[in-house]
Structure formats: structure tokens, C-alpha cells
Structure 1
Amino acid sequence: MRRFAHLGAVVATTAVLLPSLAAFNPAQAPSAPSERDGQDPLVVEEIGPAAVGPDSTVRIEGEVTNTTGGALEDVSVRMRYSGYPFQDRSRLGDFASAEGPADQRTPAYGPEAAVDGPLEPGQTAAFSIEADASDLKLDGFGAYPVAVEALAGGEEHLATVRTFIAYEGADGAPSPVDIAWVWPLMDYPRRTDDDTFLSSDLAASVGPEGRLGRLLAAGAQDPDLDLDPDSEEGTAPPEPASPSPSASADDESGDGDEDGGGDGEEADRTPVTWAVDPGLLADVERLASGSYNVLEDTDVPGEGETLPVRTVEADPGARVWLDRTAAALQDAPLVATPYADPDVPALLEAGLEDDLNAAVRLGGDTLQRTLGREADPAYALPPGGLVDTATLDYYADQGAETFLLSETALPPQPWVEHTPSAAAPLEAGGGEATGIVVDPGLTEALGRPSRAHGEAALAQQRFIAETAMIGGEHTGEDRTLVAMPPTTWNPGTEFASGVLEASEDLPWLSAVALSDVEPPGGESERRGPAGGDATAETRLGKEHMERVDGIRGTVRLFNSILVEDDADPYRPAVLRAESAAWREEESRAARSLGLIGASVRNGLASVRIVPTEPVTLASKTGTIGVIIANDLQGDDETVRVKLSMFSENPERMKVDDYQDEMEIGPGQKTTVYVPLEARINGRTMLYLSLQNTQGEPISSEETITPVNASGLGYQAMIISGIGALVLVAALTPRALRKWARKRAAALGEAPADGGGDGGAEGSAASAGAVGAADPGDGDGGAEGASGDGSARGGDAPEGGGEADGAAEAADDAPGSDAGDGGPRDGQAGQDEKDDGGERTESGASDDGEDARSTTGASDDAPADEAPADGGPDRKGDQ
């Protein structure tokens, strides 16, 4: 927070600057019609004449209304005044703003008029006061204070209205003072992006009763000017008026055409120089050119939210106003700001001269397009009328030679006690230039409320009093005043027309063209611009400029994706954000900046990746399609973007090469096909974003697409199948052996069919023996079991089922793994083998299935591994 001492200094400085800056207050909102709590008890509707002469009759007319709860008896209105004029111009404002009953500033009593009554509550009655000027005994030329009082019951005060009268004096008015008019057609920026308006106020403003409609009609001084789009005359612009003294830069004295070239009506027009902001003309043109959007919500949308708008059809009244303006200004003197009246000192301080140059170019193009003409480049309208060295130099580089300034920029010399002439020399761009000061007192008087009932007469008298005070200063030198209303002036029609007429009618004024205002000879009565940074206290603040910088950054990113190198669709929006109109409108400026920023972000978000459902890959490789949309609709909004995609886990899911850059026309879509390779089944996230061609992301958010890999492909399936077959082949023999042993053990628990002895003897055989006896031959079974440990599974005889049981029993028999005499029985074993082999061939021919089972069982005890120890002993036992 700033310290209180510094805050006090700022407040004091502001109090000094405000009167001088009133004429250059571009952020002043158009005032609404004055609305009061009920009716005013006293309204003054007319005061005349404008210039009171010695033989004049002063007339004051108006109405009295009973705003109390009871009836009022003996209601009257009287005039109070002072017989001595004001001696100081500053006293005019103090007197006009005073409240309460009349006081010592109006000590003299004038005539009193009774009001027909009694007045019931809410009842209104008219009054009229007349006084001969000679009876007032006014003390010479000047402006005099007047108080109009409404009384009840003799002395009960009801209301007081303060105003002025101007008296010529017995000797007549002094030599007239020249007055030049600068008539503003300006406003604060009305749009966010080019198609979206902050409100519907501008459409109402260009109508016949709207602010801009009234300004145009009064400034054009054309009683036939019609702004009603529904009238027959309003269907086409009138023929441009021929050059007249009020429009010519060479002859605008208002004295008429001595050669008979102009008519009397044109000769009576007061010379006016129009001051125009091209940004306003562009806003009105957009109203007329087609349907547009109007914001419906005052809140700034959040990130990713769209602007809440409603669509409105083109406004025919805007086209009529624009056509009438072009006709009225066709040959009139015209000065203009750059587009949207930028805050030149603030932009120069921020190093944004490129933006200023763009505003100058865009302003010139807009004037040509809407009015069909150029402004006078020799005149500059610095914002707020304040300049520093950098500002003067910049305007001078643009061709400016004359600057319309505030009195703060060119104050009077300390020794000057009167209102000095408006023009003074100054230096700009290393050369000589002219500064023209807009009179702050006149600006304040013109800015008085003038639209409600009775306000126009009071505002008119204030203006008359201001000029009379200046005229009565008796300097003996020729002087020129420059009158310029506030840049967002919102006057009543009667008042706006009345002040121009007064410039011609008042004997102490002489209306001239702005081009006639030149510095007087001799020593200048004004000081030059102060050194240092004279604009620091008034220009746009740091916070505002930082927000503008953020908008400019987003616009730069947006422009980087456009194919057209010179395309810059948001340039006007940025210039509107840099307008000096936001200097004093902090809340409105904050909202406007927020909406402009949201509009630019939404434009950038219009180039987007269309979200898709999760993707499933049924094989090791696959392709996904990414849809990219360009929702922009402008003819020059073809974009070139780059798609960036990466996997959260490249070991699981690999993104292969794809066409990452593409060009998309406005309102079109394209699909990018991206190959993928899955290395592991499962879910993997892919992150997608759009970038410009330099690799800068154009969005702060990434699109996430989940990809599910559910299969690894045919090759992987073949490899897996082969592996499974190998595993089955390896495990099958062991499983079969185990099954055979269990089966043989189960069968060995009962005597073998047809061979009891053989079965018994076979059960006592060694572990490697195979019972191969014929089931019908008991001896054969015994012989088979008496052999050595050699296995002959492949030679199993018929009836191998019983032999398997014997073999299983032999495996489990004690001592089957050890025996003596193996070598001694070798030959016997070989003989038995031969004999058994023959039986195997015979048996195999009878029951091959049992033979295969036996073969499987014999594999578990190969002959070469059977122990020889114990063989003879077991044989001997048998």
C-alpha cells in the first residue's frame, strides 16, 4: 500500500489536474438522463435574453411543484441577485455548486411572482418573473449571480436554483474574443473481439435521440438531417453540402460569401472542427455490417469457458448514422486520434511503438473506409491533453505541427492574471510547433447536466457567464478561445445547439475556425511543457499494462499458427485494450480487459484436438486417427499447426513416426494417422498437444488418450503356441509313466487271470524286470520274472496288463535296487531276453494297446541301470 503522505500528494495533484483535464476525459461514461427522486420543487426552464442590455427585460420562467405531504398556501417565486459582477472565473463554479437557501452572495431582492394556488401535494404551477435591467442597477459589463427562490406562506423556503445573467453594460460589450470549436465524436471502446460488443448501448446511441445522434445533429447544424431509419428520408444519405464558411479551412469566419456563392443558412453556421476516434467509426460500422454478438453477462468467463452472448441482427440505424456522418464531415475540418485513442505516453514508456504505428495505420484506413477521406495530419490530440518529450516527438514524426493540449501542459505565465490566448509556441521533434490550449472553464461548463427538465437553461447560462467573464478581462489584446466539450459529451439537443448559436449571437464572442488560431506576437503568455515525465500520474497504470502484455502474448501465439504472414485478426482488440479511455475507468477497464483476454484465448482454443474414446489395439501394431479441427471462420484464418504425441511409458507403448505438421482451412477438420507399437499388454496413456511450427504449445492443456493393448499379434501367438507344445511334449512322458505305475500297482493287488504261479513269481522279480508271460501260461510268467534287470518294454507279450502290475510291484519290492551275481547271470539274462523277444512279437500281435502301456512303464527302469547285485540270490530263491 502507498503511504498516506504519498496518497495525499496524489489526491492534491489530482484536484489540481481535474479541471484542466476535463476536456480530455475519454473515459467519462456517457451519462444517463438525469433522474431525480420524484419531481424537483423548483425548475427554471428559460432565462433571457442571453446578453442583457440596458433596455432589456430579464425573464425567468419555470415551474413550482408541491413535493410535500400537505397543501401549500401563498406560494411565490422571487429573484435575488448581486448588483456586482464576479471578479474571478473560479467563483462561477463555486456559486453554481452551492446548495441551500440564497445567501449573502445574492443580497439584492428582485421582483416576486405569486403562484396560483393553493398547491396540493404533487401539483405543479408555472411561474414567470420579469425585471427591467435598468431597475436592477447592474454595475457594468460582466456575469452576475442570480438565485431563484420558491417560498410558501410568505417566507417558508421551499427550494433555490442558482444561475447567472450576463450584462452588456451601458457602454456595450468589449471587443469580441475569438472562439474556435472542436466538436467530439468519440467514445470508449465498445467491443471485445471484432464481432462481440460489451453492451447494446452503442446501438441506442446512434439513434435520433441517442448521444451520438444528438451530437451529429447539433454539430452539423442541419435542421433537415434525419437519423430515423424508418423514415422515407432516412433511406439514403443526403447530398453532401457544398463547401461553406463553416467548413472551409481557408474561410471559416462565418461572415458569409460576399460573392453570393453560399446561401444564408450555411453562412450562419458556426465553424466546427470535428474530432473523431476512428475506433468509434469502426464500432458503428460493425453494427451496420451484419449480425453481431452482445454480451449478456457482466462476469468475465473462466478458463475454457465461452463468452455468454446473444446474436443481434444488423442495425439499420447505425448505417444511417454512418452515412449522415460521412455527408456532414465530407468538407469539414477533421482531426483524428489513432485507432481507439491509444495512451501514447504509456505505450512509449512500455516500448510498444509498433502498436502505436499500427493504431495510426488502422485509424487512417478506417477513416477512408467509413468517411471516404483523411484527417488533417498536422493536428494531434494527445490523450488527456498532456504531453512529455517522447510524446511530442512521436506525434511530430507522424507529421503533427499543432497540438491540442490541456492548460496543465501549457499553463499561464506567473505574471498573467487573465485568460491568455489559446495558442503558444513549443518545440516538438526538434522543430517548432504550436500548442493550442482547450479552455478548462468552458469544458466544465459544457459538461454540466443538460438533458433533464430545466437543466439546459442553467447549463446555457453557465456557458454564457464563462465567456462573459473572459470577454470582460479587458486585456487590450486579441485573444482566441478554444472550446471543446468532454470527449464523451452527452448533452441535450437544445443545449448543444444553443452553445453554437451563442458563439455567433453573443456580442463578446466571434466564432472562428481552428485553423485561424495562432500564437500571438510578442512574449508568450504561456509556459512550455514542463520537463521530466509530465504524464506519469495520468497514463495507464502498471497493472493495466501487465494485463495488456498478457493479451499481446496470447495474440502473438495465435498469429504464429496463421498461414498468412501479415494476418493479425486480434490487432484491433489489442489496440482497444490500450486505449486512454481506461485511465479513469478502473472497474470498466478490468472487465473489458478480462473479456478481451477471454475472447483471444477462445480464438486460440478454436484450433483444437477433437476428443476421442479410448483406443484398443488387438495386435502388436496398429494406427489411431487424431482429428484436429479449425473452428475459426475468417477468410484469412487458415492455420498451420504441429501435432505432438508421446507415450507415458515408451517401454509399453511406442509412438512411431507420423506426419506431425498440417494445414487446415477455416471451419475444416483433418485427421492425422499415428502408428503405434505395443510391447506389453495393458493400458497406456498417450499425451497429445498442438504446437506452432516453432514447437510452442498453443494450449496450456494436453489431450490424454488411453490405449488398451489386448493382443501381441500373430507372430507372438505362433511363438507362444510352439512354446506350449514343447512344454506339453516334455511333460507328457512323465505323466504317462506316473499313470502307468499307479495302474500297475492297482492291478498287482489281485492274482493274474489264468496264471496264479506266474503272477506270484512275477511279483518277486527284480525292479527292472517286466512280466511278459502269456496270461495262460503260469510258467511263462515265472520265467519272465526271473530274468535280470534289463527292460524290454517294447517286447511286452500279450496280457501286458498283468505284467504291468507285476512290474509296479517289483519296483516297490524291498531290495529291488540291490543284488549280487549280476555278472554270473548275464548269459542267462541274454537268453531270457531272446526268448522274451520272440514272445513279445507274438503278444504284440494280440493286444497292441496293452503293449504300448507296458512300454511306457518300462521306460522308467532302463535295463542298463538295473543293479546286478542280488540277482542270483533272488533267482535261487525262486
Structure 2
Amino acid sequence: MATAIALVPALTPLQPAQVAAAVTAPSIQPRGLPASPADDDVKDVPLVVSEITPESVGEKSTVTVTGRVSNLTEETQTGVSVRLRYSSYPLSDRDALDAHADGEGSTLYQSGPRFAVDGDLPPGVSVPFTLKAKAKDLDLLGGLGVYPITIEALSDSAGAIDAQHTFLPYIADTKTGDLDTIKTAWVWPLMGRPQRADDDTYLGDGLNENLAADGRLGVLLSTGAQEGEIDPAETGEPVDPDAEETPESPSPSPAASPGQEPGDETPAEAETEEHSAGQVPVTWAVDPGLLADIERLSSSGYQSLTAGRDPAEQPALQDHDVSVNAQAWLTHARRWLDTDPLLASPYADADLPALLAADLDYDAERSVRLGQETVREVLGRDADPTLSWPAQSSMDSATRDFLAAGGTTTFILNDAALPAQRWLGYTPTAAVSLPVPDREAGTALVADSKLTAAMGADTHSPGAATLSRQRFAAETAMIAAERPSVDRTIVLAPPRDWDPSREYAEGLLEASDSLPWLDVVALNDVKVDNAGTKSRQKLTYPDKLASSRLSGDELDDVRATRRQVKLFNSVLADDEDPFRPAVLRMQSAWWREDEALAAVTRARVSETVETTKGKVHVIPGEPITLASKNGTLGVVLANDLETRPVKVYLSIFSENSERLAVGNYTDSMEIGPGGKTTVYVPLSAKVNGRTVLHMSLQNADGEPLAEEQTMTPVNVTGLGTGALIISGSAVLVLILALAPRALRKWMRNRARTEEASQGPAPEPAGGVGADAMPHNGNGPVRDESAAAASETAPDLSGRQEPDGSADTDRESETVGVDGDADGAPRP
């Protein structure tokens, strides 16, 4: 360059400022800002470009590049300098732009301003730099276009230190009217992969961190809403979508001015509306599955898996308290997303092409229906059912027909799904007509894949946000420069898992509104360009995407789990489907890119379904003994589910029905949450021995709830018929033998009782009672015949005294059953 480019002094007044000079024209170099230790965030970046202004360069602009250079080596570097190199010719196309961004473009020979470090640069020390040049001195020859620049750091001792490749979008003279603005519409994603396996188990604790004010989802929500940062202390109660709104009574505004009529805007209100009107319009795209994951975090404590990604590894669980981050995030989301356009993906971003190809249409329908229900429950409002953003921004014809049948009229796709015509030499418009069988044509809004990739760059490292924002300006300027006089539309749809820095996200929104070649509009204001429709090919589903969809083996695992879920649901008395969200999470398109975590998710859900089914069971009993021909068995059934009643059928059969038969019993019953009930089952034994009873709980169709059955051994010990007859006969003989003796004893006891009741008689001579002897008028007379009979009568007891006389007094003693007088058992 023939002319030196003057540079302004650095900002610090305490020391002399260094000034960069053009290589071709030496000048005095004032000293720069003092060196400082390198920050931790630049320890891996020796050259950081922190700002480039302006983003859009005009003829009268002054280009300013600021940043810092650091010595990250262990040796002192001498002769360190930073310089700007550029080309005075614009890049020819977007491919050349990509090449330069990757450092693979043509060498830039023009030299711009240069900054030299005063003195040596010790290890671990950083020095700020500023490069300035007037646009007219750069002699940009092509007018409207994108010019490549490179910022280089060099040293005499180490040579090239680092280089950053970026761009200068340039508009020579906008008064000519050659430049037509490009309509630009935003789709702002609040999406991400499923965070849970079953409803209560998270795959990690990353979601809680992402919901913080400076986390991924926290930044996306606050920057997209353009309302400031999330206040962590501001939490609220969950929204009840069925609650009726309470009308608020109007009240006079405290800011009303004299003479203001009721209903007129106050200055504060007018300022608020003006601020809202000045915001960049965005259309929010939410994943209902992610919203449900966030809502679960905000309601109660939860568990997360801490194991690796091997499904065979026994996972460890970590307990967490309720997430305050989730509560604050939901509170702000309900407020900030209240009126903006909103679209919802199917629940957990289901892999619709895979489900439809595998004849799982019912699951595909449930994912859409549950998605709409979840948005209503969590956010308290409905999503627009006419807008769809298919997974990976692409779809096959079956998915198109399925979504169209559900009410979709506008499809957000990428340019791999609707490629530009091969003969087209520029970027076609985004809004085109999309043929849909058996109905009016729909609308396709095609996002540019290169823009999407550029916006998805990592912007968390030092200087990355500045370079990425400059890349966005360059990409859009290049599109505008391709056909300056052709009306076109571009759709800005960042990646679904977008993780921008706050600086970058805010910068993109500002750039889309401030760059002179862009005219930001609402997505629903974009109209189809019928002429532009011809510039795109027909709907295409790339082979790479078709081959990456969920495989047959993966869906077979899902089917197996669904069968167990269906069996469990069949015994629920409230006719619900509690595992429906978990099954749909297993079918997410996100698992295309993470097969290991997908396997862990499927294994965890399958295990949870089996465990939950096992909570409705027969309580095993102890082995029982049946000591008679007939008996009754009490079977206890338990429902350990805490919130759900069940209706089950008890099935019992004998392993050997000829030995032990099961009678009629009540086989169906409803058991409340946490309840138990007992079923009494009659049993009939025919032969002694051991028999096993098999018990299982079934649904109404006779399908067992569990593969394993409860077994109860029954031991029959009752006697046979012949033994019963013999025993009965022996008892009868014993009764007949003892009856006479018992009768005689009873008669003697009765006689004695009667004698005792008559009182004592006078003692006759000879010691014989007077009442025992007959009277002849002069005294008692002895009955000789009776006495003789008494003396000669045999002893019924069969026992004799030692002197040979009968012991008649023993007849008055108690007689035992075995014949002993005292009732004691005989030896």
C-alpha cells in the first residue's frame, strides 16, 4: 500500500501508547498498554480477536480490530508483532468463504496495519493490541462483497505464533439501489436429547446445570426472549391449564397524566410496547419431552445414573433435591413464551421415519398427541399444530404424508431435503411450495445448512464469538451479493442442541436486525415464492439419514418392552398408560447419534417395567398341611403400587389334580393402591401325599402378569376310609363295655344321695343302723335272706382282700374309663 494508515493511540493515558504502522510506511510507534499475566481462559489461545468493527464496512468506515497476544511458551519471545493481511478482491463464492475460514484459501498478500510489542514478551504474559485502518485505504476493488482478512501474530524468535481467519463484508455505495434486502426469519430452539430413562431416573445431572441462568438452556431462553437474564430467585407454581382465568378489575394507572382518557397508554406502557416492537421476532421450537424432563425436576427430588454407557454394567444411582434452576426456568418460560409463535416436535423428537417404516404408526401418532398435551400442561398454552420441524430437518415422503394428515401445512427443512437445482448458481429462496398428496400443496421453509453449521460453532473459547458472528455476517452478505436484485428469504434455524455463548446469541440477534442486507421478519409472515419453487429439486431423504435411523434390532427391543407395558396396563383399573413417555423416549431420533446411551436407556426402562409389574403379586405362603379330606387355603394378593388401583384375576391349579383338587373361588378382584386382599380357596384331598399348587395373577384375557409362578406345597395327611371304619368300631366297643358300669355307678350315687337326704337313723344293737333293719313292732328285725344274699354275692370288681372276703367298700369309689377304681391309668 502506498499510504500509511494512521492509528489512534491506545486508551491508557498512564503510559505511552504503541501505534501500529503500515509495513510499507514506517512511522513512530508509541508504547502500548502494559503487559499482564495471561488469563486462564486464554491459556490455549495465543492470539485472541475480541472485536471487529464495524460488521458491515462502508466506504467511509474505519476498520478496528482489537484483541490480545500471549506468550504461552516457556521461553521469552522477542520482536512480537500482530499484523492484518487481506485481499483487495472479494471471495468468489461460498465455497471460497469456507476454504478461507478453514485456513485453506489463497495466500493474502496485501498487508494492513501492524502492531509491535514494545520489548520482550515473557512466558505467561499477554499484551492487548489494536489494529485500525480506513476502508478507502484498503482499496477494496470489488464493491459489494466479502473480503478475506487474516490476523497474524509473529515473533523474531519463534516465527509464526498464531493466526485467525475472518472476513470483512463490504458495501461500496448503497445509494445506487442495487441492493435488495433479504427477508430473514428465526427459529429459536429449546430442544435437546431425552434426559430420562424411566420417569424417575435421569441419565445424568447435566440438565440441572443447563437450566441455570448461565447454562445452555438458560442462555437460549433469556437471549431468545430478549428480556434479560433469568432471575434464579424467581420461582412459581406449575401452570394448571384447566384453571379458569380470573378477570382483573381495571385500575387507574399511577402514571396517568392530567387530561388522559381511560384506556390511553401511559408513558411507561408506551415505552414497553415500543421495546417489544423493537425486539427481533423469533418462533420458538420446543421439544415436549425436554419440557416434561424439566417439569419433573422442578416438582420433587430425583435420581440420576452415575454409571458408564455399558448397559451390562449395574448403574449406580445418585439422589438429588428438587431443582431450583428448573423452577426458575419454567417460571420465566411460561411468561416469555406466552404470546410468541411456538411449534412443538413430537414427544422426545421421535424418529418418525423409523417408526413408520417399522409399522409403528400408533407410536408415531402417540408421540405427536402426547407432545401437544405436554406443551399445554407445562407451558399453559398450545403449540401451533400447522408448523412442523422434523428431526434432523429432513423427512421422507411417508413422514410428510403422516404430518400433513395431522394438520401440518408448513415444514421447516434443510437444503439436503430440498436441494437447489444443479444448474442454479446462487442460494435459492427458502420459502417454496411443497407438494402433498391428496390435498393442497404445503409450504417448505428451507434452512441453509452452511448457515446452520456456522451458527452451531463452539463460541465459548476466547474470541470465538467474535469470529463466529463475523462469519454469520459474511455468509449472509455473500448470499445477498450473489443476486443483489432478486427477492429471497433465508430461514435461520440453529442446530437443535445449540449451545451458544450469551455474547454470541445476543450478537446474532442484533446482527440479523442491523445488517443492511437483512430484513428480519416473523416466520409466519414469510410467503411462498412460486417462481423460486422451481429453483429446488423434489423432496429427498438422504441415504445417510435413511441408514442412520433406528435399526430393526433397536426397535425389536422397544417392541419387547411395549409388550410388557401393554400387559401391565391391562390390569390397571384406571385405564392409564404410565410408561407411554418412557417408551417414546426410547424411540427418539437423538439416539441415532448415541447408540451406547440409547442401549442404557432401553435396558433401564425394561428393568423398571418388570420391577413395577412385580409390585402386583401373590404373597408366597408357607407349606401347608391338610389333615382331612377337605380344607380351605387363604391366598394373599398385594398391590404395592402407591397410586394406582389394579384389577387382577387369580389362577390356581394343582400339579396333581387326582390327589388334590381345587374348588370354586372368587377369581377376580380389584385392589386399591398399597392394598392387600385374601382369597379363600377350597381344597379337596383324595390321596395322602405332597402336591404343589401353582398360582399366578392374570389379566382379563388370561395372560399371566409375570413369567414366574408362585408355588405352595400342600401335604395331605388325612386317614383313609378303612382306617376310619376300624377306629370307629373300636370306639363303639369301648362305649358298650363301659356303659353298664357307668349306669351302676350312677344308680349307687343316686341311692346314697337319697339316703343322705333322709337323715341319720338310731344305731341298732350290734352296730347295725335301725333304718337298715325291718321293724316288728318291738325293734328292728334283720332280713336273713338279704344278708345271706349279700354275703354270697360275687365281687364285681374282681378283686379279693387278703383274707378271702370281697372288698365291697370299693364299689363306692370313682371308676375310671380304663376300669381302675381311682381313675388312674393302668400300667
TM over 0.5: yes
2:230 alignment partner, one of 226, 230, 233 = 226
1:188-241 Cα distance to aligned partner (Å, 9 max, x none): 112222232222211221110111110011100113x53312xxx5569999xx
Distance change (3 Å), C-alpha of 1:532 and 1:320: closer
- Determine if the alignment matches structure 1 residue 705 to structure 2 residue 712: yes
- Which structure has the bigger radius of gyration? 1
Q: Contact (CA 8 Å) 1:208, 1:226: kept in 2 or not?
A: yes
Question: In the alignment, which residue of structure 2 is the partner of 1:151?
Answer: 154
Distance change (3 Å), C-alpha of 1:542 and 1:105: farther
Distance 1:214 1:185 in 2: 10
CA apart distance, 1:444 = 0.7
What secondary structure does 1:478 align onto?
A: coil
Q: How many residues align?
A: 664
Question: In the alignment, which residue of structure 1 is the partner of 2:374?
Answer: 366
2:133 alignment partner, one of 103, 110, 131 = 131
Distance 2:425 2:708 in 1: 66
- Determine if the alignment matches structure 1 residue 271 to structure 2 residue 277: no
CA apart distance, 1:60 = 2.1
Question: In the alignment, which residue of structure 1 is the partner of 2:566?
Answer: 556
Q: Contact (CA 8 Å) 1:207, 1:227: kept in 2 or not?
A: no
2:44 alignment partner, one of 34, 39, 47 = 39
Q: Contact (CA 8 Å) 2:151, 2:164: kept in 1 or not?
A: yes
Q: Contact (CA 8 Å) 1:300, 1:594: kept in 2 or not?
A: no
Q: Contact (CA 8 Å) 2:419, 2:536: kept in 1 or not?
A: yes
Q: Contact (CA 8 Å) 2:629, 2:686: kept in 1 or not?
A: yes
2:596 alignment partner, one of 587, 597, 612 = 587
Distance 1:703 1:413 in 2: 68
- Determine if the alignment matches structure 1 residue 323 to structure 2 residue 326: no
Distance change (3 Å), C-alpha of 1:137 and 1:719: farther
**In terms of mean alpha carbon deviation, does 445-454 or 715-724 score higher?**
715-724
What secondary structure does 1:477 align onto?
A: coil
What secondary structure does 2:546 align onto?
A: coil
Distance change (3 Å), C-alpha of 1:111 and 1:714: same
Distance 1:179 1:476 in 2: 16
AA aligned to 1:138 is L
Equivalent residues in 2 for 1:391-790, closer than 5 Å: 391-430=399-438, 431-522=440-531, 524-530=533-539, 536-565=546-575, 567-634=576-643, 637-709=644-716, 711-713=717-719, 718-719=724-725, 721=727
Question: In the alignment, which residue of structure 1 is the partner of 2:166?
Answer: 163
What secondary structure does 2:441 align onto?
A: strand
What secondary structure does 2:292 align onto?
A: helix
Question: In the alignment, which residue of structure 2 is the partner of 1:285?
Answer: 295
Question: In the alignment, which residue of structure 2 is the partner of 1:312?
Answer: 320
Question: In the alignment, which residue of structure 1 is the partner of 2:743?
Answer: none
1:17-44 Cα distance to aligned partner (Å, 9 max, x none): xxxxxxxxxxxxxxxxxx9995222222
What secondary structure does 2:122 align onto?
A: coil
What secondary structure does 1:583 align onto?
A: helix
Question: In the alignment, which residue of structure 1 is the partner of 2:145?
Answer: 142
Q: Contact (CA 8 Å) 1:418, 1:475: kept in 2 or not?
A: no
**In terms of mean alpha carbon deviation, does 331-340 or 385-394 score higher?**
385-394
Question: In the alignment, which residue of structure 2 is the partner of 1:199?
Answer: 204
1:695-715 Cα distance to aligned partner (Å, 9 max, x none): 112212223333444x22597
Give 5+ residue unaligned stretches, structure 1.
Answer: 1-34, 240-256, 727-847, 850-878
Q: Contact (CA 8 Å) 2:71, 2:122: kept in 1 or not?
A: yes
- Determine if the alignment matches structure 1 residue 109 to structure 2 residue 111: yes
Q: Contact (CA 8 Å) 1:388, 1:529: kept in 2 or not?
A: no
What secondary structure does 1:370 align onto?
A: helix
Q: Contact (CA 8 Å) 2:636, 2:676: kept in 1 or not?
A: yes
Q: Contact (CA 8 Å) 1:443, 1:483: kept in 2 or not?
A: yes
Distance 2:723 2:152 in 1: 107
1:332 alignment partner, one of 335, 340, 351 = 340
Question: In the alignment, which residue of structure 2 is the partner of 1:380?
Answer: 388
What secondary structure does 1:340 align onto?
A: helix
CA apart distance, 1:85 = 1.9
Distance 1:323 1:332 in 2: 16
1:827-847 Cα distance to aligned partner (Å, 9 max, x none): xxxxxxxxxxxxxxxxxxxxx
CA apart distance, 1:532 = 8.7
CA apart distance, 1:329 = 1.4
Q: Contact (CA 8 Å) 1:72, 1:117: kept in 2 or not?
A: no
Distance 2:548 2:536 in 1: 20
Distance change (3 Å), C-alpha of 1:112 and 1:234: farther
**In terms of mean alpha carbon deviation, does 381-390 or 533-542 score higher?**
533-542
What secondary structure does 1:160 align onto?
A: strand
Distance 1:469 1:522 in 2: 22
Distance change (3 Å), C-alpha of 1:392 and 1:648: same
Distance 2:117 2:605 in 1: 58
CA apart distance, 1:270 = 0.9
Distance change (3 Å), C-alpha of 1:237 and 1:721: closer
Q: Could you tell me the percent identity over the aligned residues?
A: 44
Question: In the alignment, which residue of structure 1 is the partner of 2:779?
Answer: none
What secondary structure does 2:289 align onto?
A: helix
CA apart distance, 1:422 = 0.3
CA apart distance, 1:476 = 1.9
1:120-141 Cα distance to aligned partner (Å, 9 max, x none): 3323332222222223222322
Q: Contact (CA 8 Å) 2:432, 2:532: kept in 1 or not?
A: no
Distance change (3 Å), C-alpha of 1:528 and 1:681: same
Distance change (3 Å), C-alpha of 1:285 and 1:429: farther
Q: Contact (CA 8 Å) 2:417, 2:541: kept in 1 or not?
A: no
Distance 1:521 1:532 in 2: 22
Distance change (3 Å), C-alpha of 1:41 and 1:558: same
AA aligned to 1:112 is R
Q: Contact (CA 8 Å) 2:236, 2:331: kept in 1 or not?
A: no
Distance 1:522 1:529 in 2: 15
AA aligned to 1:120 is P
Q: Contact (CA 8 Å) 1:620, 1:678: kept in 2 or not?
A: yes
The normalised TM-score by structure 2 is: 0.74
CA apart distance, 1:88 = 1.7
1:90 alignment partner, one of 90, 95, 119 = 95
1:176 alignment partner, one of 181, 191, 197 = 181
- Determine if the alignment matches structure 1 residue 345 to structure 2 residue 353: yes
CA apart distance, 1:187 = 1.4
What secondary structure does 2:593 align onto?
A: coil
AA aligned to 2:567 is L
Question: In the alignment, which residue of structure 2 is the partner of 1:749?
Answer: none
What secondary structure does 1:322 align onto?
A: helix
Question: In the alignment, which residue of structure 1 is the partner of 2:790?
Answer: none
Q: CA RMSD in A?
A: 3.3
Question: In the alignment, which residue of structure 1 is the partner of 2:767?
Answer: none
AA aligned to 2:110 is A
**In terms of mean alpha carbon deviation, does 553-562 or 80-89 score higher?**
80-89
Q: Contact (CA 8 Å) 1:48, 1:58: kept in 2 or not?
A: yes
Q: Contact (CA 8 Å) 2:311, 2:600: kept in 1 or not?
A: no
Give 5+ residue unaligned stretches, structure 2.
Answer: 1-39, 240-244, 246-266, 733-797, 800-827
Distance 1:665 1:454 in 2: 62
2:213 alignment partner, one of 204, 208, 217 = 208
What secondary structure does 2:189 align onto?
A: strand
Distance change (3 Å), C-alpha of 1:512 and 1:609: same
